[in-house]
Structure 1
Amino acid sequence: MEQSNEQRALAAGARRAIFYLFYDPRGIVDDYIPYKLERLRPHADHITVIVNGALDEAGRVALEAVSDDVWQRENIGFDVEGYKDAIERFGERASEFDELLLMNYTFFGPIGDFAPLFERMDAANVDFWGMTDHTEVTPNPITLDGTMPRHLQSHWIAVRRPVFESEAWRDYWRQMPPIRSYSDSILNHESRFTSHFESLGFVSAAAYPHENYPGTPHPAFERAQQLLEDGCPVLKRRPFFHDPLYLDREGVIGRYLLDEVEQRGYPVEFVLRNMSRTSMPRVLNTAASLLEILPDQQVGYDPEKPFRILAAVHIFYEDLTDELLDRLESLPNSYDLVATTTDEAKAEYIRERIAARSDARLAASEVRVLPSNRGRDLSAFFVATRDKLVSDEYDLVVKVHSKKTVQQGAAVGTLFKRQQLDNLLGTPGYTANVIGLFQKEPTLGAVYPPTVHIGFPTMGGAWFTNKEPTKKLADRLGIRVPLDDLSPLAPLGAMWIARPEAMRLLFEIEYDYTDYSPETDHSDGSLAHVQERIIPYAAGELGYHVKTVANTEYAAISHTFLEYKLDQLSRTVQGYAIEEVGVLQQWAATVSRVDSGVLGTIRAYFGRHHPGLRDRLSPAYHGLRKVLGRAPANPEQ
């Protein structure tokens, strides 16, 4: 058994080399990467960046400015084989250093400063150390058998000379099996590394050990805020893209994490820019609580920093002209107006109403008559107003339209219109606060009301039949932001405020009215429905996040209805939401597999609530199915 007999603590003047593993499917180096490496530079005598896969030219320039070596390799073997190959490539140069630090791109930092951490851990009498550790878990969550040992987490592991000059170190990497999956990387490296070298007599430590955070096996994730409060200088990315149902059960609130890092001087836009490119928008919106509930009193707008605003307003129902112009008067500074409509008579009426009002904030106005109403307000925006939106004349565009949801009842249609307009252009104070969000957040690309759910069955599937055509358009435009599973975080209702730059990808195709469905066919799957839903993905691809916004009155209405609906839906299956959803999905799969009819539903119900009775009734059930000619292929089902 190998044993470390050397002085383990680092002496003054000790030399450190960092191997930093970077991966991005597009090869884009977001700002948080060079920011981190630049602040690691005072603590490292050498930095090698290992790039798995793609790297664009701007990214290479950014990495070369903050490192000594940028080494690009094929994207195989995850970070494990990246480290292995880099160590082999570094070779005998390792003997020039006292500590090798293996880290990757999966965290933000420094939240504060790295210096206190290095000062404390340099003095630690250890052979290797990590930022955080994971507790022992039985059964092993990867194999569902045995025990996963306690281990240092692989996003930050530092090894000292007694380890990396040992034969055990060379054997470890030489004998590493091929890493073909995330599970392989956990089983063969992350969960194995610590116990393997400890069994050989080497001593390890975590800078922020799990013992300090009882009640959780994974403090870096589930107790991230407490870690930050204790001075931990890193924040994992995972809380912002993990399943929100899991976050709900564990009480992990991304908004608290963003508040904490902002208070400690870390640029929050680094987090939002990276996560907007890589996360499902609805997941990020939930995980980071990006719904803003704003008051009617102006509290978040700086009149000294006005935006150049374009109001793009489609007015099909001319009797709603004054209502829309009333809404625009709530804007906090001057704006230009381009109104679109479908015939000259309506256009003349709209011009008269604009002239009669003498709105001091209206700097310039134009009314355009469209040659076609195919695509309705979406074609009016993407075709008729395109020249204005690609001109770089404006910082923000306000897109609204005359809304009459004629296919629904009068009450539902009126509610939908109010839900859209009240939450975008409410009182002057409220609207100023909405605009103020763009002043405070340079990576905010668009805002719009939350998903309408009162009067509409949107929850659980608001893609309807639009997901596949949205994917096709995203592929065509090079948008790789992952599409949300059930419902897009989209401006359903097609009203929003956005930076034109954040929508730039959507203007790369010059559409014509013939690309849209006929006016009488506004069914799902059409281009207009796709454009409505692709907004957050187009913005995210360019590193812009989106937010939903609501006034306090609507928030009260929406929350109480949502709470009641969730209470009713949870009536049959009670527990944490993640468990309820799991049971319902299993139940649905059982019903689908056994029988999509009444018998299958009854059997699934008894299986959930009265399994013993289900088993006793099983012979009668199978007998009845035989009579009905529906015997399952597997009688055990």
Structure 2
Amino acid sequence: MEDYIPFALAGLREHAARVLVVVNGSLSESGRAKLEPVSDEILVRENVGFDIWAHRDALDHVGAGIAEFDEILLTNDTWFGPVRPYGPVFERMGAGEAHFWGMTDHAREEPNPFTGKGVLHYHLQSFWIAVRREMFLSPEWAAYWRDLPEMPDYFDAVLKHEAVFTEYFASRGFRHEVAFGSEGYPTDHPALFNPDLLLADGCPVLKRRPFFHYPPFLDRHAVIGREILREVEGYGYPMAHLWQDLARNVAPKILNTDAAMLEVLPEIDVSYDPDRPFRIAAILNIVHVDMAEEMLERVAGLPGPIDLFITTNEEKRAVAIGQVLERRRDLNFGRRDLRLVPSKAGRHMSAFLVGCRDVVRDGGYDLIVKIHSKKSSRKSYNSSRYFTRHQLENLLGTPGYAANVLALFQREPGLGAVFPPTVHIGIGTMGRAWSYYRPRAEAIASELGIRVPIDEVSPLAPLGGMWIGRPDALGVLISREWTYDDYAPSKDFPHAPLGPTQERLLAYAAGERGFHVRTIMNAEHAEISHTSLEYKLDQISSTTPGYPIEQIQFLHRAGWTGHGGVAGLARMYLRLNHPRVSRAIDPFYRLARFGVVSLKSARARVSGRA
């Protein structure tokens, strides 16, 4: 049970004679404990029919007792509130003579955007519908709910209820009003496109959708979530409730984009409060001893008491690192713990989750800093060098920058972890960061009880394996007692090593505990990244017409391009212009492609032996 729900109900309770809460699915004891103080009765039902059938069951449950009331309010949990007070809206709408009223509405559209044809009638949005006695005691009301069709998916809920409810009753002589009508705003759907203007006019609720809707769609309409959130915080809404819900229920990369959760921090301390220090454990995995001194200096730049834990996998490296530690006694660390881990399997992730499990789980630290000596022989010199810079400088730049990073955790108790955004210069991560890892990540998420939605194309993740986070946010990952044997090659997932898979699950594990994550950069890397991304997007967009959302949808319909060639281009043509034919031949295409790939692989192995 997310905390924003009882908070919203507590405000409504001041204006209601009776509050009936309907729960779709199951209700935990802790959830019940949160709801009971703000409700008169709780009805738990099977999770079918969305909120509409929940409303029908609630009306059946109340039965003839509904005649005791002057007005009933049908609402759901798709909004945050009260951001502004409920009272003025109830007072204003109570003075009207309508039979039913809504908080917001949606203008008439032709053709219907959901079906591509017909008309989407003007309608009050169903997340908030208040109905007076003349209507809810009428035979028309009884008939509407008696004949309510089944609603197996979201579009049924929109097309069979929300889009028809207003027209149904208006056509039968019932008058309706809206508290914040779309005709007074610059778009047809202000609850999605102009929530800041609604709030400025006194609307007490904020729809959740601007923070989980498809990011290219919001980009097309210039809906800036960060600006909306700044307004909401300014009105005094408890932001911890909002972040907890979004972290648990929105795919992290979507949330990071919709809410613009990248923090570009200055190199000079402007926000850290030294009177509220953290107890910090810095865990460094060092296999490249030549990087040890730089890593120590960066960690030593953090404010507050720091205990140092270093892992390495060879005795001679441990000796060399010990010499560096002895030479740098000037660096202000508390505890200094050098650990020789017994296995190279899993590299820095096994050293962290197995070799330092006691530190993360039982050490009593407020924050964990995890970095490692990253170099890659599989990348070019420049790519490897920039990759390392991108990780260390965006996580622990100057001491002032590091202080500003910690200030984020001071500001937001629900912030679970921070890490650099996806590196894309010199490395082909964009569009394929899941690669072979997604099936294994989904399997681990299921095993650990992580229910946060998984992003489709790429995860929001510390792909360099470096981050700063709260131990509680890592709780789901650390709850399992991993062993070094777990990091051995997997028969089920031969191309997805466990360590990189675990990296990709950090934000999802944090979200399961109600913690959100942020990406962080310094100004120099933001300048480098933005100019590179801008040029690359400009070039990619040059051959495809339309706005980015239209270009993306076109390319998704066309499908995987492979390496080009006649077969690949023909398949794309069929997918775009003859989708039925494409679906019919796809199984044969995949079979043929698999045969070709297998033959090439066999030839490569024969050539290698020769």
TM-score, length of structure 2 as denominator length: 0.91
Could you tell me which residue of structure 2 aligns to residue 14 of structure 1? Answer: none
2:279 matched residue in structure 1 = 308
> 1:604–1:509: structure 2 CA closer, same or farther, 3 Å change rule?
closer
Residue 175 of structure 1: how far off its partner (Å): 1.5
Task: State the distance in 2 between where 1:459 and 1:359 align.
Answer: 42
Determine if the alignment matches structure 1 residue 352 to structure 2 residue 323.
yes
Q: Is 1:394 the counterpart of 2:365 in the alignment?
A: yes
- 1:98-138 deviation per Cα after TM superposition (whole angstroms, max 9, x unaligned): 00000000000011211111111111221110000011111
User: What is the SS of the residue equivalent to 1:362?
Assistant: coil
Does the Cα contact within 8 Å between 2:84 and 2:199 map onto a contact in 1?
no
Could you tell me which residue of structure 2 aligns to residue 147 of structure 1? 119
Paired residues of 2:24 and 2:44 also in contact (CA < 8 A):
yes
Residue 559 of structure 2 contacts residue 575 of structure 2 at CA under 8 Å; is this kept in 1?
no
Q: Do the aligned partners of 1:277 and 1:543 also contact (CA within 8 Å) in 2?
A: yes
SS at match of 1:130: strand
Gaps of 5+ in 1: 1-28, 612-637
Matches of residues 308-327 of structure 1 in structure 2 within 5 Å?
Answer: 308-327=279-298
Deviation of 1:598 (Å)? 2.5
Amino acid in structure 2 at the alignment position of 1:91: G
* Residue in structure 2 matched with residue 287 of structure 1 by the alignment: 258
Does 2:353 correspond to 1:382?
yes
Q: Which of 115, 125, 140 is matched with 1:168 structurally?
A: 140
Matched, 1:99 2:67: no
CA distance in 1, matches of 2:142, 2:469: 54
* C-alpha separation in 1, matches of 2:73 and 2:512: 32
Equivalent residue runs for 1:28-427 within 5 Å? 29-214=1-186, 216-359=187-330, 361-427=332-398
CA displacement at 1:380 relative to structure 2: 0.4
Is 1:525 aligned to 2:468, yes or no? no
Q: Distance in 2 between matches of 1:195 and 1:607?
A: 38
Letter in 2 for 1:126: A
* Conservation of the 8 A alpha-carbon contact between 1:240 and 1:288: yes
Q: Please name the residue that 1:21 is paired with.
A: none
CA contact (8 A) 2:284 2:372 kept: yes
Name the structure 2 match of 1:598. Answer: 566
With over 3 angstroms needed to count, the CA separation of the structure-2 counterparts of 1:274 and 1:539, relative to structure 1, is same
Q: Using the alignment, how far apart are the partners of 1:93 and 1:309 within structure 2?
A: 58
- Structure 2 residues without counterparts, runs of 5 or longer: 578-610
The residue type paired with residue 434 of structure 2 is: W
Aligned-pair distance for 1:554?
A: 0.3
Give 1:541's match in structure 2, choosing from 509, 512, 518: 512
Give the drift of 1:352. 2.5
Q: Residue in 2 aligned with 1:458?
A: 429
Deviation at 1:564, TM superposition (A): 0.5
Distance 2:442 2:124 in 1: 39
Change over 3 Å in CA distance of 1:264–1:344 after alignment to 2: same
Q: Does the residue aligned with 2:241 lie in a helix, a strand or coil?
A: helix
Aligned to 2:597: none
Shift of 1:218: 1.5
What's the CA shift string for 1:150-183, capped at 9, x where partnerless? 0000100000111111111111111212222222
Check conservation: 2:253, 2:455, Cα contact below 8 A.
Answer: yes
The answer to whether the 8 Å contact 2:489/2:497 transfers is no
Shift of 1:587: 3.0
Note the C-alpha offset of 1:529.
Answer: 1.2
Shift of residue 605, structure 1, vs aligned partner: 8.1
Equivalents in 1 of 2:574, 2:113: separation in Å?
Answer: 29
Conservation of the 8 A alpha-carbon contact between 2:309 and 2:336:
yes
Deviations 1:318-359 (A, max 9, x none): 121101111112101110011011223322322232232224
In structure 2, what is the Cα distance between the partners aligned to 1:459 and 1:600?
A: 21
- Determine the C-alpha separation between the residues in 1 that align with 2:400 and 2:307: 20
Q: Tell me, in whole angstroms, the C-alpha distance in 2 between the residues paired with 1:155 and 1:392.
A: 46
Range 580-589 or range 72-81, more displaced: 580-589
Higher deviation after alignment, 173-182 or 78-87: 173-182
Please give the alpha-carbon distance, in whole angstroms, between the structure 1 residues aligned to 2:23 and 2:114.
27
Match of 1:573 in 2: 544
Name the CA shift for 1:70/1:213 in 2 (closer, same or farther; >3 Å).
same
Instruction: Give 1:217 shift.
Output: 2.5
**Aligned pairs, how many?**
578
Identity %: 49
221-230 or 273-282, which deviates more = 221-230
Q: For the residues of structure 2 that align with 1:483 and 1:396, how far apart are their CA atoms?
A: 25
The DSSP-based 3-state class of the residue aligned with 2:105 is strand
- What amino acid is the match of 2:374? K
Instruction: Please say if residues 80 and 207 of structure 2, whose CA atoms lie closer than 8 Å, have aligned partners that are also in contact.
Output: yes
Q: Secondary structure at the match of 2:504?
A: helix
* Paired residue type of 1:230: D
CA distance in 1, matches of 2:179, 2:324: 68
- Give the alignment of 1:611-622 within 5 angstroms: none
Q: What's the offset of the Cα at 1:606?
A: 13
Whether the aligned pair in 2 keeps the contact of 1:464 and 1:524 (CA below 8 Å) is: no
1:461-500 superposed matches below 5 A: 461-500=432-471
Per the alignment, do residues 75 and 196 of structure 1 end up closer, same or farther by CA in structure 2, a change over 3 Å counting?
same
Tell me if structure 2 keeps the 8 A contact 1:489–1:533.
yes
Offset at residue 94 of structure 1 (A): 1.1
Q: Deviations over 1:364-395 (max 9, x none)?
A: 11101111111111110000000111115101
Separation of aligned partners in 1, 2:225 and 2:572: 37
Deviation for aligned residue 1:229: 1.6
Q: Distance in 2 between matches of 1:529 and 1:76?
A: 38
Structure 2 CA distance, aligned partners of 1:176 and 1:607?
A: 37
Per-residue CA shift, 1:398-438, capped at 9, x if unaligned? 00011111211111111000000000000011000001101
Supply the distance in 1 between the matched residues of 2:399 and 2:480 (Cα, whole angstroms).
Answer: 36
